[in-house]
Structure 1
């Protein structure tokens, strides 16, 4: 109960405030999310990569993430073949079970649970997962329509991608920013997590649940909230990692479906109702699964 009150509850309260605000005022989410994507998140990402001493742990993080990605895709393909699902439904299941909400949900949970060092790892995971989702997510949502070309374009349109590149160049060439610049960047970066949490609550308020396919939703919940963290725990066993990074990776893998995938599903007509349903239900059910996982990991 202590973990729930200190770590999970504050996050849920902020989500709920965004949800309630959107139900009440019907704001333009696109404007707020654009502010987050183009201003706040790049500032946070730049500060993290500018200040962080990159080492082998970050390479482990990249390798881990790709192994988990391909394992989850493989599981979905096996399930789709065995149950004779259409390509569209297979794409919808991949969107809703492979890509986790490591940004809006995972980053604040990890910040509350593991402090600043865990949060630094979480921001790196956030950027990596966003790039992977913008490539592989778009590819699976749009296959047969736009495919790889659209996926590459999607990655190149992400401002945080360039924030990482610039920060790494500053590190490699030992370029020191003046204190006024770092203070300004930090001021903007500090608002990122609250803003993206509120945006998630607003996005959940906009999800329209019409027709529930309970067998597919149950499958999505099991894969996203149970199979994914179990796979993550198995993968980290074979790496020599910082114990804190191990915990951050497992907790990130246990996050509900990424809200962004609903946008891809809508844009490319990849079972949008199913993806929205799984996103909503996994977010609700994660309240029951995150707390015991944090307790088990310590």
Structure 2
């Protein structure tokens, strides 16, 4: 009973805020996703990542090990996803990238914070950064046939991660007034991302639900397995390994739908995968946390 209550306390704020966004749209209120997403991804999330890394007391070597484990974890997931798409005779351009890259930002960061505190958030931003780098290179290449190293360098999230890692390594800190300002801006990130997630899901039109359901179930199993294998391989400490597993197991990101729409893949099939995997995460993520917390 205590374990169930603990898991509920961790996951309830995440799904309540997402439900607010979902209900907001269903009630017919205006919500400009493009503006809010740009605000979050270019300002609040980079501030959140920078301050989380700068203030974390996690050993830099532990963060480096987690980074390598995240790359290995995504490598395992990529190989398994390619096999799944081939066996199911699904379109690689449409399905492969969504199966590999989960919602480590909107969902993963809040879950890590609520479940494992500031230490968990520090670990989570590292996995999020690895995902962002891979998504802007391998992910775009899988969907469009080309990637952009220049685009990675220009991304505020990547820049904030590199700068935060430098401050962590050197033991530097920004002046108190600046730190307070950056933290205040960063505090917007989590509620904004969760509400926007609900809004985006509410607006998606879906089809191919049957295939999406099968893929979503297999994705969760593969991602959890990849997190366990990579975590044990690099001998991560318990919190780091738990965060890695949760981040890898997050559902398909809404950005996968946007990329499919932009580059001519089957966006409605991806939308189905986003919705089904997100709905499944309402049960799946609490079950995963029940074994980790």
TM-score, structure 1 length as denominator?
Answer: 0.90
Distance 1:64 1:125 in 2: 9
1:207 aligns with 2:209: no
Residue 119 (structure 2) aligns with: 117
Deviations 1:53-85 (A, max 9, x none): 552222222222222222222223223334444
Residue 240 of structure 1 aligns to a residue whose secondary structure is coil
Distance 2:173 2:225 in 1: 42
Distance 2:156 2:170 in 1: 21
Distance 2:209 2:109 in 1: 30
Q: Which runs of 5+ in 2 are unaligned?
A: none
Runs of 4+ in 1 over 6 A off after TM superposition: none
Are 1:95 and 1:275, in contact at CA under 8 Å, matched by a contact in 2?
no
Distance 2:30 2:270 in 1: 22
Residue 78 (structure 1) aligns with: 83
Are 2:209 and 2:276, in contact at CA under 8 Å, matched by a contact in 1?
no
1:154 offset after TM fit, Å? 3.2
Counterparts in 2 of 1:164-179, with a 5 A limit? 164-171=161-168, 175-179=172-176
Distance 2:210 2:111 in 1: 28
The CA RMSD over aligned residues, in Å, is 1.9
What is the total number of aligned residue pairs between the two structures? 288
Distance 1:235 1:169 in 2: 25
Are 2:224 and 2:245, in contact at CA under 8 Å, matched by a contact in 1?
yes
1:270 offset after TM fit, Å? 1.8
Relative distance call for 1:29 and 1:142 in structure 2 (3 A) is: same
Relative distance call for 1:167 and 1:55 in structure 2 (3 A) is: closer
1:99 offset after TM fit, Å? 0.5
Relative distance call for 1:5 and 1:134 in structure 2 (3 A) is: same
Q: Which runs of 5+ in 1 are unaligned?
A: none
TM-score, structure 2 length as denominator?
Answer: 0.91
